[in-house]
Every structure is written in structure tokens, then in C-alpha cells.
Amino acid sequence: MGRYVLRRLLQFIPVLLGTMFLLHYLQTVSIQINGNPITALFGDRQPPPQTLAAITTAFGLDDPCLQQTGNPCLGMFLDRMSGYTQGDFGVDFNRQPITRLIADAAPVTVRLTIIAVLFESLVGILAGVVAGIRKNGFADNFIRLSTTLVISVPVFVLGVLVQIGSGLYVGVWLRDNGAPEWLSAAFSVTYQTDHPWASLLVPGVVLGAFSLGFIARLTRTSLIETLRADYVRTARAKGLSRRRVVGIHALRNSLIPVVTYIGIDLGALMGGALVTEGIFNIPGVGGLVFGSVAAGETPVIIAVVTMLTLVFLLASLLVDVLYAVLDPRIRYE
Amino acid sequence: MSELATAATAGHTERSGSLWADAWRELYRNPVFVVASVVVLIVMSWAVFPTLWTSTGTDGGTCELVDSRLGPSSEHIFGTTFQGCDMYSHVINGARPSIIIAVLVTLATTLIGVALGVIAGFYGGWLDTVLSRITDVFLGLPFLLGALVFLALLGEQNIWTVSAVLVVLSWPPITRIMRGSVIQVKALDYVEAARALGASNMSIIFRHILPNSIAPVIVLATLYLGGFVSAEATLTFLGVGLQIPEISWGITVAQGQDYAIAGYPHLLIFPCAALIITVLAFIVMGDAMRDALDPRGR
């Protein structure tokens, strides 16, 4: 196992640098083709050239290589990487450190993601187990049908529909019938700072819905396969109760791919969080990206996406290492 | 797999009982697959021949602001949009960009993915190492986030740029799956036999490796079609996809969102339904194909 973990760690370094470089190169090419992003700040009323030049220098966008289309600007890349290692992710156009913007927004997104992961794994695994132990029964067919449906609904469609259904119809009904405040906050159209958990409940469920379908299917297939294994038959032959055979012997082994999926799914959740936060007006990291895309603030977009990508890569690394710990059969060569 | 092989040799009357012949026989007897295919064909015909379905023309017809947000009626069976355009015509015409992008991107990613996957899997060595690391780099970008950044930075958003960005971000999984599949097939005896008979690398790849390793990619490509319809709509909804004079389900939903809250649910229901049904049909088709091509999943 040690060798596998070491290999995985060594592979992580070029991938990390490569992904960072890809994002950097994208930004330089975009500046080389579309011109200085600072000019976009001012719209029709452009400042005098000296002011423009001064602002450009202040944001470190005065490198001559940005004039040469196709030049990868390796010098800028190295500067940026050394900045990242010191925790310097640059500033936005209001000269706010981007790290602070993210620090303000991250807790909201983390809460949203926790709700989504809890929802998708609890309900997903439960549905998968119910479907798996009664293969081809009514519950199985029902769960297969509904997971296919859930997978087919794009997050933003589910978001806008649920927002109207829960926020408008259920929410108004609850308020009219004197439901407690936290409950009507849970079914409101937007995020409410007074109820940091309750008002993220519905968006979290929307965010987790897509992966829920996959988790349920994965659990089902994996459980069905494990239930055929010899050791499960042995356990049954020994006279163990069905509950113990399924719960202890089969389920633990069939959850390995599910756990991996939940780890890898973090990337999809980040993209989904962007959509969900946009729809429900949640001031999280997704909202930050959304806002900076609308305002054309490329430094913020690049910095935030770089950070999110780092989180994603670290999570995948962790999952792969955990995978090797959980399942001793795994020895990739 | 071995069950399939024995089943194939048992059924002498069927033409050589290849994996594909078996799969096809199972598919056209599967009512779910048939219904899904019919839905896909209908949506495709919206995209290719919208005038068959609506008389208002491909630009969505004339829009009268007086008619803004009318409910469904005999004149406008799905009601009208916020701009007073016919919603039915928007639903039909909205299929075109989604379908064009989905088909284009799926073809391109499959070609790139299969080519790179075969090269990496068949030749191995340093070529495999380099290609696999490049694949990892692109897989490192979360899909939607990556697409959003690419499109926001490109600054120009139309069918071609959206397609290009989706291709850049979605070839790695196909490459990976193809590589794994090729490595598996490469080790089989008939490849060894072909080599012993003096077959060249090219003929081994095209005659033996490709036909026997491409099944998982075909399944994934079908699922991808639905995924790209959904991705295009999502990016358009977020404002980095197709832009306004274009008619797209994502735009219709984005425009309807605010007014649906104000009590005009039909602004959302019809475009959302069209989108969901289209994606659902592709995914059901892909699932049925996977079941037919990979008997272990049953």
C-alpha cells in the first residue's frame, strides 16, 4: 500500500501544476485576445492613458508578454505560483484581497455542501439498499424509475421549479398558518442570514438531488453484486440473520465505490453550488463566481476557480488514498 | 462476458451472434428503448425541420408586447413568453442549438477520446504516461466551473465557442475509458494470434481492438448527448452560453424565472418540460444500451 500511496502522491504534483498552468494560460490568452480587462471596468468613459497604465501596473497586468498572442507568460506563472504558496491570491478590482472574499463566502457554501452530501448519501444509500435487496420488486422498479428521472433534470431546472413550489406555494401556506419562523425560513425564496442552516435546507436538497440518483444506482448495483459473493453465502449458511448479512457483511464492502463516488462528486457539487447559489441568492463562493463573471472581474474568477480546483484535487487525492486503505485488493500498477 | 460468449455459440442460427447483433436484438424488443428513441427522433426533427411543427418560422414568429405572458389558449397553446412571443414556437425552435451542440460535441469528444485512448492503451510506454497525465490535468477542472471560466474568459459566446469549450472539458473521461478497454482487449488471445500471423499494428487496431473495445464508449456517448443538452441549457441559463437573439430553452427558462414567481407558471413549465423530456430520453436510451451491451449490470 505504501508504494501505491507514494505513486499517487508523486502523480499529484504534475497534475496540480498542469491544472494551475491551464487556468493561467487561459487567462493570459484571454487578455492577449480581448485586451486589457481594466478597460472593461470603465465602460464608455475611459480614464486618461496614464491612469489606465497606473491601474494596470497596480494589478500586475503590465507584463509585455500580454501583448504577444500565444505567449504562455511563464514569468507571470512563476510569480503567481510563489504568491499562491504564500497565501496571496491577488486582489479584486476594489483592492480587496480575494482570500478575504472567499473566507467570507466559504462558510455558507460549506454548509450548503454538507446539507447536500448528507441528504444525497443518507437517502441515496437507503434507496439503493432497499432496491438492491428486493431486486426487480416494486420498490426496486420505483426507485430505478425515480432515480432516472432525478438524473435527467438539470440542476437549474430543478432549482427554479423547487424555488417556486417550496418558496411560493408551501412557504406562503406555512406563513399563513402560523408555522414557526425557522420552518417558514426553510421554505423561503431566498437565503436568510438569520437562519443560516434552515434557509439552506431546500437549496441543499436541490444540490444533492442529482448525485442522489447516482448514489442510489451505484449502491444497488454494488450490493446486488456483493450479495452473490461466496462469503455472503457462507454467512447465510452459518445461519446469520438477514439483517446482519446485509448490514454488516454485504453493505460494508459494497459501499467502497459509493464512498469513492461521494469524494469525486465534490467537483460536480461545486458546479451545482454555483447554479443553486445563483438561483436562491445565496452569498457563497458560487455567488462570488457568478457576480465576478457578470462584472468581468477575471482576477477574481481565476483565483476562486484555482482555489476550488485545489480543493477538488486534494479531495480526489484523499479519496484515492482512502480507497487503498479501505480495500486491500487495490494495487494499481 | 463468458455467459454471453456461450450464449452466442449456442445460437448457431443467428448470424455469428456478435455482441452487437445480440445487443441490437435485445434493444428493439425493449419497449422502453423504443419509446425513448421515438422521443429522441421527434426532438431531432424539431431541431432539423422546425417548420414541420410550427408555422411561425425559425425566429419564433412575431412577438407582440401586448400579448406578454398570456396563459395557454387556442391561439397560443402553450401561452406566450414575457416578450409576447408564442411559447410553443419557442419550445420547438429551442431544440435546435441544444441538439446541434450535443451532436457536435459528442462526435468530436468520441473521436478525440477514442483516438487518444487507443494510442495510450495500445502503445503504452512514455506515450501512455504523457497522455494519461494530460488527461488528469483536464479532469482536474470541475466540469461546470471549468466551462464557466472558459466561456467567461473567451468573451464571445455562440454555438461554436460553447461547443469548443464542452469538447475541451469532456474528452478526458472517454479517453480514460477507451484506454482501459483497449488494455483489456489487447491482452486477449486473438490479438496475440493476429500478431503471430504477422498482422500490422494498424490492422490489429482496426480489425480486432477497436470493434471489441468500443462498446463502453458508445454507451457513454449516448449518455453524453443528454448531458450536453443539459450542459448547454445550464450555461445559457447562467448567462455564459448562447445569447439573446438566439432561441434556446436555457434563455426561455432564465427569462421566465422571475415572472413565474409572480404567478405565471406556464413561462417555466413548458420549456422545463421540453428540456427534461429530451434529457430523459437520451439517458434512458443510454441505460438500455448499457444493459444490452454489458450483461453483468443486470
Considering only CB atoms, which chain A residues are within 8 Å of B265? 164
Considering only CB atoms, which chain B residues are within 8 Å of A301? 149, 152-153
Q: What is the pLDDT of residues B236-267, one digit of tens each?
A: 888 887 777 777 888 888 777 777 776 677 77
Band of residue A96 on the pLDDT scale cut at 50, 70, 90: confident
Closest residue by Cα to residue B85 from B76, B97, B94: B76
Say yes or no to pLDDT of A63 above 80: no
Contact B144 A153 (CB under 8 A): no
Contact A160 B253 (CB under 8 A): yes
Considering only CB atoms, which chain A residues are within 8 Å of B272? 157, 160-161
pLDDT mean over A277-281: 85
Q: What is the pLDDT of residues A100-154, one digit of tens each?
A: 888 888 888 888 889 999 999 999 999 999 998 888 888 888 888 888 888 888 8
User: Does the CB of B167 have a partner CB in chain A at under 8 Å?
Assistant: no
Considering only CB atoms, which chain B residues are within 8 Å of A29? 153
Q: What's the pLDDT score for residue B58?
A: 60
Q: What's the pLDDT score for residue B1?
A: 40
**Running DSSP on this structure, what letter comes out for residue A198?**
G
Say yes or no to pLDDT of A1 above 70: no
Closest residue by Cα to residue A266 from A161, A100, A150, A120: A120
Band of residue B67 on the pLDDT scale cut at 50, 70, 90: low
A9, A156, A270: which to substitute to probe chain B, counting the most B Cβ within 10 Å?
A156
Cell, residue B98: 441544444
| CATH 1.10.3720.10 segments of chain A | 98-326
- H helix intervals, chain A: 2-34, 37-42, 49-58, 74-85, 98-133, 138-152, 155-162, 171-176, 181-186, 201-227, 230-237, 242-244, 251-254, 256-264, 266-279, 285-295, 298-326
Least confident of A85-89, A281-285, B13-17, B187-191: B13-17
Contact B140 A18 (CB under 8 A): yes
Q: What is the pLDDT of residues A244-257, one digit of tens each?
A: 888 888 888 888 88
Tell me the average pLDDT of chain B. 79
Q: What's the pLDDT score for residue A333?
A: 46
Written as one letter, the residue type at B157 is Q
Say yes or no to pLDDT of B107 above 90: yes
Residue B282: C-alpha distances to residues A38, A98, A178, A268, B38 (Å): 44, 41, 45, 20, 11
Rounded distance between C-alpha atoms, residue B148 and residue A273, angstroms: 13
The percent of residues above 70 in pLDDT, for chain A, comes to 92
User: Does the CB of B285 have a partner CB in chain A at under 8 Å?
Assistant: no
Cross-strand partners of B86: B80
CATH superfamily of A98-326: MetI-like (1.10.3720.10)
Cell, residue B17: 451472434
Considering only CB atoms, which chain A residues are within 8 Å of B141? 19, 22-23, 309
pLDDT mean over A211-224: 88
Q: What's the pLDDT score for residue A14?
A: 84
Least confident of B2-16, B42-56, B132-146: B2-16
Closest residue by Cα to residue A273 from A156, A148, A162, A149: A156
Band of residue B69 on the pLDDT scale cut at 50, 70, 90: low
Q: What is the pLDDT of residues B74-100, one digit of tens each?
A: 666 666 666 667 777 778 888 888 888
Rounded distance between C-alpha atoms, residue A207 and residue A286, angstroms: 12
| Distance in Å, alpha carbon of B127 to nearest chain A alpha carbon | 16
Residue with the three cell numbers 480486432 = B208
ipTM for the complex shown: 0.82
Are the beta carbons of B271 and B91 closer than 8 angstroms? yes
**Running DSSP on this structure, what letter comes out for residue B70?**
P
